[in-house]
Amino acid sequence: MRRIDLHAYPGTQEWIDSQGPFVEALGKYWGRAWTAAAESDVIAGFRTAEVEAVLVAFDIESVVGAPPCTNDYVAGLRDAYPDTVVQAWGAVDPHKGDEALREAERAIRDLHLLGFHFHPIMGKYRVDDQTLYPLWETINSLRVPVMIDVGTTGMGAGMPGGMGTRVSHAHPMAVDNLAADFPEMTIIASHPGWPWVEEMTAVALHKGNVFWELSGWAPKYFPESLRRDARSRLRDKIMFGSDHPSMPYQRLFDEWGALGYGDEVLTQIFHGNAERILNL
């Protein structure tokens, strides 16, 4: 069965460096060394797992001062390994104002990226903040999708004050507001959205332009309501993502298999919905 991973970070030194002071907290959260892998090893890992990765750029430079894992970098990996990296999400730091608008246009028109990923907790913003609407208007005019993290994150988790970040910035209602204001924009909510899984379910059901990929959580910890809805009323909206390199692929595949879904449902989750919704 084809497996499209909609949420795979490069895992290389460029990506580690882009996280700035959050590297130590991430290592503690995941219980292992949070260190860079060689590019060749990352690609080999995708191939061994038999996944087609959609890489994710990362830019929180205005918050932490760290250099971004740039759009050019993930586009370069896509172009160098087209058999393994099928596309890439761009990243723009919303706090950069007009510079972010210019970079968004360049990422699509020159680099031909899939769309953009946003991490509201790390970036310290809500996506329904009206001051960010010029960016959404620009992205909407480019007719590309966005992927927005919902729910808590391991970045800053367990550290005093969460290192200044706020979990509330990633509340699903911010996605609901954005989807209402930009009904032509395809929005992918990323991660289960805990502790607001029911709220995220409501948004996904109510907004026809909102879809959902469930990266960053081991499937065995999915709430029962989410397990049920993924095979029934949300089966046309749920997609697979890993949050690579957070968890081993084999663990994810084993736990998805243990949920008891039939091949028809797994086909939709692992590749069918991504093909239909994102033209992958």
Best CA proximity match to 195, nearest among 156, 168, 165 = 168
Answer yes or no: is pLDDT of 32 > 80: no
pLDDT of residue 162: 72
HSE-CB for 154 with a 13 A CA cutoff: 20
DSSP H helical segments within the chain, as ranges?
A: 13-18, 23-30, 39-49, 61-64, 71-80, 98-109, 120-123, 133-142, 172-181, 197-206, 224-230, 249-257, 263-267, 273-278
pLDDT of residue 117: 98
pLDDT of residue 19: 87
Average pLDDT over residues 205-230: 97
Model confidence pLDDT, tens digit, residues 162-188: 778 899 999 999 999 999 999 999 999
State the pLDDT confidence band at 147, using cuts at 50, 70 and 90.
very high
pLDDT of residue 156: 64
Best CA proximity match to 26, nearest among 153, 151, 216, 164 = 153
Q: Which helix (H) or strand (E) holds 166?
A: none
Q: What percent of the chain shows pLDDT beyond 70?
A: 99
Number of DSSP helices (H) and strands (E) in the chain, helices first? 14, 8
State the pLDDT confidence band at 22, using cuts at 50, 70 and 90.
confident
Model confidence pLDDT, tens digit, residues 88-125: 999 999 999 999 999 999 999 999 999 999 999 999 99
Best CA proximity match to 65, nearest among 18, 117, 13 = 18
pLDDT of residue 76: 98
Q: What is the pTM of this model?
A: 0.96
Q: Give the CA angle between residues 37, 271, 197 to the nearest 5°.
A: 80
State the pLDDT confidence band at 234, using cuts at 50, 70 and 90.
very high
Answer yes or no: is pLDDT of 80 > 70: yes
pLDDT of residue 159: 67
Average pLDDT over residues 78-96: 98
Average pLDDT over residues 229-241: 98
Average pLDDT over residues 22-38: 79
State the pLDDT confidence band at 134, using cuts at 50, 70 and 90.
very high
Q: Which range among 130-144, 146-160, 266-280 shows the weakest confidence by mean pLDDT? A: 146-160
Which residues, at least 6 apart from 35, have a Cβ–Cβ distance to it below 8 Å? 16
